[in-house]
Structure 1
Amino acid sequence: MKQRKVWLAWVLVGVVALAQGAWAQGPGAVRKQVEGSMLVTGMITIRTDGSVATAELDKSDRLPEGIASFVTQVATSWRFEPVLIDGTAREVRTRMSARLLAKPTGDGKMQVSVRSADFGDYEATPVEERISRRSLKPPGYPTTAVRAGAQGTVYLLLKIGRDGTVADVAAEQVNLRVIASESQMRLFRERFARAAIGAAETWTFNPPTRGEAAGQPHWVVRVPVDFDFREKRPYGQWEAYVPGPRERVSWAQQEDRAGFSPDVLADGGVHMEGGKQGPKLLTPLDGV
């Protein structure tokens, strides 16, 4: 653990330059909120006792030097509640996505940590047992944000009725990749949220037709909506971003698993809230 802390204190000179460049251009109050962020995905194998046997990262050759070994070291120190299948603990493989953060230590260096993680293998669930997309027309890009060069991600919560239409929708969190005044940041968050919600109100889904979820009166799903000038955000690169506050929604009261936050979900996916959250983590995200 001591060696890892030393390594963390010296890693990511490139992120220092990235964040300092963003801070130098923005108002002081917002500069302090900037974080270097990266989403890393892969597979982990959980033993019958809940310990992690292996961690295999997606596209590890695209990750900055040292990041793959850091994430692997942390992941293999995790311990989960044993996964029971028909009452018996079994070894299982499941998807993992982890949100890494790089923060300044005050001496020109950065410290890397795992901020949040998700272990829900949604795509592995048979399509008949989960909510799946039918028609998801993307939102338009707000003109105000385009003119300012603002980019960001809106994490939506949607209540899906039994006919597959959206009965209610709310923006749970809005993260921005722009530096501006506090009032401008609020404006960008509001415009991105409004655009994402307006599009989501027209979306339709395929409800589950079998399994535990099929008999529910409605379903709650999370859908990240990304506003970016690039066709696809590159995997394995640090980005400076300002996280927005997380809003609690009255009709979505399912308790999150330890270490979860909306911004750990990959862009473009449809993620069911509740029972499909995957294995339960028992240890801290940064390991034991």
Structure 2
Amino acid sequence: MSSNSSCSWPDQPGRCDAILVTRRVTASLSIVGCLFVIGIILLFRKYKFFVQRLILWLSLASLCDAIAYAMGDVHERGDPFCIFQAFWMTYFDWSVLLWVSCICFNLFWNVIKFRKTNHLEGVYHVVCWAFPLLMACIPFSQGNTYGPAGVWCWISEGYDHMRFGVWYGPLFAILFIMISVYIYIIIVINKRAKMWTGTYDPEAERRKALLKEDVKPLRIYPFVYLALNVFPLINRIQNAASKGDKDNPIFALALLHALSSPLQGALNAIVFGLDKETVSKLNWVQFKAALTRNRGDVKIYEPARKPVIDASDSSDSTN
């Protein structure tokens, strides 16, 4: 590591190495996890279902985000690769956040209103892919504030207003809304579960089926995102509040930040893999059947047909 590098602890470069290794390991786990989720959804054609498509798009965004985290290294200011990494990370951080928000929005309408949001899928794509591009371009408005940000590349140190304007300010607001909605959804689900016990009501059964089909597969993903953002938020708040302090940044917080930020894809894969319907397909028989089906080699069984006897032929034979 060069002496003029952007390491936050120039006298203890081993700390920067530890953070870089931690980020790369967790990012690699997320890359593998995202590929697993995407592969299973495509292999078993689960993408035909709207709920599974939401998971698919979240996994795609998380995969690209994990690639950005895996790029992490100590760079010089003005390094084009560093700027690219920072832009890429900002874009896909936003994309992941918005896909999680869409999942939370979908859960709200499923649970509270008993309505599906399939018709809004096109809107979800516009919001989750186009809006991040706008936010990722804002740091260029002040002559490019992207650059080394400690051990990785993002919005450079000294531009706290840009960091909080582009990311942490909106993140605080969205997380607050998501937490409130998530708690409300859990309360409503528990309350309705008690109301539905002991009696048979066709409408209640329909609503229970909706919850099982659309809510159950998605309900954990927002919680995973919320949990993983605790340490990054604490670390950035501490960085901004203790600016100029000789002990800023705190190594333990920076390490926890590096550990948790790239893990979205890995934990999503665990949640996805624990789903009973998914678990039932994770065996060689199911894999072989899916591969065969996707190659178009499945032969449809048709009962043997009896030969059709022409009436004229039968009459001729009698003569």
Q: Do the two structures share a fold, i.e. TM-score over 0.5?
A: no
TM-score w.r.t. the length of structure 2 is 0.25
Greater share of helix residues, 1 or 2? Answer: 2
Q: Whose Rg is larger?
A: 2
TM-score w.r.t. the length of structure 1 is 0.27
